DNA sequence: AGCTGGTCCTGATGGC
DNA sequence: TGCCATCAGGACCAGC
């Protein structure tokens, strides 16, 4: 999936509909996601009250009475909410179903790179979970700015784009939004991160926040599988300036947008606006 | 056949 | 030479 905007849109919708409600029943149809869902999960969750659904990076956190359900959407996951009685038949790749106070909530994930894990309160603070402990700062944290990026990249020879994708410096920026943010900040995706100065990092931090905020407003991006909990597609991709636009004119200068591969990931940029 | 939103893990590489 | 930080590639999977 699902990068930060798609997860944020999902978290908000789930929170609005489910916060404070009780899980009546949980059914697991296919437990083989990225990691096998333990057979005890349904029993563990049933009967617990959902305190709050939130997000950390690209992880959804469902805070329940006795622990936290951690859910990641991988490359192709989405949660759908239906009203009980009006829920359509299960679809292919619906792997998990929650029944919650008149709602039927389903996890669909064709590629099954997603994950569903249980973290008991007894296991300590969920943010110290091995999947969450090493994550970078939230892009909407007030401490995130150009100086943060500058400090985090001194001495780093890696290209800036894969470093952004790594999520150890700042979370939530996946392939689409890294591409768009670098385009907006006029930074070539192959620039060694340690060679970018404060000025350009100030532009990049602002661009990341702007791009993510706009994507959230538009319901995220849908390439193929992602939809909001209401089944509606995200509309960000329609306004993308560089992503997926190889050969088309750069909206700023008219030069053709170019495509290259960085670590098997497609990157789009304007060779005139984004100089190496 | 070669693409596609993510990220964990392993093994290799390079700097000090 | 040895340790550590960093990086590249493979793995997971379905659909177009």
pLDDT in tens, A215-254: 999 988 888 777 788 888 888 898 999 999 999 999 999 9
Residue A276, in any domain of the structure: no
Residue A56, in any domain of the structure: yes
Judge whether A29 and A94 are in contact, CB under 8 Å.
yes
Q: A118 and A160: one domain? A: no
Q: State how far the Cα of A144 lies from the Cα of A146, in Å rounded to an integer.
A: 7
What is the reported pLDDT for A262? Answer: 87
Residue A225 Cβ under 7 A from any strand B atom? yes
Give the pLDDT confidence of A252-269 residue by residue, as tens digits: 999 999 998 888 888 999
Q: A254 and A151: one domain? A: yes
What is the reported pLDDT for A155? Answer: 83
Q: A204 and A247: one domain? A: yes
* Residue A5 pLDDT greater than 60, yes or no: yes
Q: A194 and A265: one domain? A: yes
Count of domains for chain A: 2
Mean pLDDT computed over A43-51? 97
Measured CA to C1', the nucleotide nearest A263 is C8
The protein residue nearest nucleotide B5, judged by CA to C1', is A1
Task: Domain of residue A63: give its range.
Answer: 4-128
Q: A156 and A248: one domain? A: yes
Q: State how far the Cα of A101 lies from the Cα of A229, in Å rounded to an integer.
A: 16
Give the pLDDT confidence of A69-113 residue by residue, as tens digits: 999 999 899 999 999 999 999 999 999 999 999 999 999 999 899
pTM of the full structure:
0.95
Residue A133, in any domain of the structure: no
Residue A91, in any domain of the structure: yes
Mean pLDDT computed over A210-219? 94
Q: Which of residues 72-131 of A touch strand C (CB under 7 A)?
A: 92-93, 110-113
- State residue A210 phi and psi, 5-degree precision: -65, -45
Residue A157 Cβ under 7 A from any strand C atom? yes
């Amino acid at each position: 999936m699902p990068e930060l905007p798609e997860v944020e849109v999902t978290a908000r919708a789930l929170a609005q509909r489910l916060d404070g409600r009780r899980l009546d029943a949980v059914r697991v149809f296919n437990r083989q996601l990225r990691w096998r869902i333990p057979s005890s999960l349904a029993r563990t969750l049933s009967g617990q009250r959902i305190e709050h659904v939130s997000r950390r990076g690209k992880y959804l956190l469902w805070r329940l009475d006795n622990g936290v359900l951690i859910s990641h959407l991988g490359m192709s996951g989405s949660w759908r909410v239906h009203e009980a009685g009006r829920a359509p038949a299960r679809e292919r790749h619906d792997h998990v179903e929650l029944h919650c106070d008149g709602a039927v909530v389903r996890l669909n994930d064709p590629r099954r790179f997603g994950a569903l894990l249980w973290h008991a309160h007894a296991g300590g603070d969920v943010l110290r979970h091995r999947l969450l402990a090493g994550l970078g700062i939230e892009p909407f944290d007030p401490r995130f700015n150009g100086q943060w990026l500058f400090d985090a990249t001194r001495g780093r020879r890696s290209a800036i784009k894969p470093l952004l994708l790594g999520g150890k410096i700042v979370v939530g920026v996946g392939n689409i939004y890294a591409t768009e943010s670098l385009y907006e900040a006029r930074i070539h995706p192959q620039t060694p991160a340690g060679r970018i100065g404060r000025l350009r990092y100030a532009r990049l931090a602002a661009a990341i926040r702007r791009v993510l905020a706009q994507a959230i407003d538009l319901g995220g991006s849908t390439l193929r599988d992602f939809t909001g909990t209401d089944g509606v597609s995200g509309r960000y991709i329609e306004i993308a300036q560089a992503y997926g636009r190889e050969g088309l004119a750069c909206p700023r200068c008219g030069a053709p947008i170019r495509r290259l591969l960085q670590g098997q990931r497609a990157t789009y940029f304007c060779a005139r606006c984004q100089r190496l």
